[in-house]
Amino acid sequence: MSYHPGLIISFAIIVAVMLLLDLGVFNRKSHAVSNKEAAIWSAVWISLSMAFSGVIYYFTDFEKFTQFQSAYWIEKALSVDNLFVFILVFSFFKVPKELHHKVLFWGIIGALVFRAVFIFSGVGLINLTYLPDMNLFGKQISVNLVLLAFGIFLIYAGIKSGFGDDDEDENKDFTKSAGARLVYRFFKVSRNFDGDKFFTVENGIRLATPLLVVVGVIEFTDLLFAVDSIPAIFAIAPDDPMILYTSNIFAILGLRALYFLLANFIHMFSYLKYGLAIILTFIGIKMVITPFYHISSPVSLSVVGGVLIMAVVISVALAPKKEEKEKPVNTFKD
């Protein structure tokens, strides 16, 4: 589907301007992000996302508007689980709080590139894998092999997420992550941070700092996360990469601010994983039954929004008074 140039230009300008302001003006100097600052930036990014969905409605129609909203909130909801892993990574490597923003910024830059590759290549693959129309029980149906496989995978991922072990990531040695091993393979790594630098010089030898290792771990973690989130949004608009990419990027761009809020209130979202498991399972079922029954975008949006709100309300209502577990300790590879 072709889009009005104004829509594409608006998206490009918003993303470019906000990233430049973020890196070059508001966060030129590394600092620990306060709850107030995180809340303000969260509100800014959500407002921009909602405003852009209004632009989509203006240039297209209500169906595209609801597709954007559905894909945006699915990505936002699923990304919360990823933020919990980021918290563990920072704790594991004992990254100073004032450096968290820089790591997450470069993680976002990587996501801008990798999500484009995944989404546009995925849409192309989907368009190539439709089976010939067939008649089943007197009804003409069209089955797509990729969407069917994604649906089955998401049902499995949802069930596994709901019944998975909470301690699996907490006990993980992140120095063995593929992202960390890639940095160790090409660089000698210092044991010490050097401010917000990715490289330092010790005894006349140029070394990577642990901060570069952390960026590598974060980038690889995001790639793994995309295995769940990208197939999930394909259920919303499998033939529309513009809707999928813009909604995905707006959701991701607001993650850093959301991270700083979650980092301080993580104990208040203990039941959120069950909501995310339900969302994954619902999206998987939607993809599997699509050839037989189409669940509209407004209905999908209502289900995702309702489950997410319910999970947050239950989590907050039943939240413990304080965290019961200590964070993992730091371990660096020699």
> How far is CA 20 from its chain centroid?
21
C-alpha 150/C-alpha 241 separation (Å) is: 17
pLDDT score for 155: 93
C-alpha 49/C-alpha 26 separation (Å) is: 20
Pair of tokens at residue 62: 């209500």
Distance between start and end Cα atoms, the chain: 52
| DSSP single-letter state for residue 238 | T
For the chain, the C-alpha Rg in angstroms (whole number) is 21
- pLDDT tens series, the chain, 334 aa: 567 777 888 888 888 888 887 766 666 677 777 888 888 888 999 999 999 999 899 888 898 999 999 999 988 888 877 788 888 899 899 999 889 888 988 888 888 888 889 999 999 999 899 988 888 777 788 889 999 999 999 999 889 887 766 555 566 788 888 999 999 999 999 989 998 899 999 988 999 999 999 999 999 988 888 877 888 888 888 888 989 999 999 998 888 888 887 776 766 777 888 888 999 999 999 999 988 888 888 888 899 889 988 988 898 888 766 544 444 444 444 4
C-alpha 114/C-alpha 198 separation (Å) is: 21
pLDDT score for 328: 45
* Positive or negative: CA dihedral 162, 165, 167, 171: negative
Pair of tokens at residue 36: 């107030």
pLDDT score for 168: 58
| DSSP single-letter state for residue 241 | H
pTM of the model: 0.83
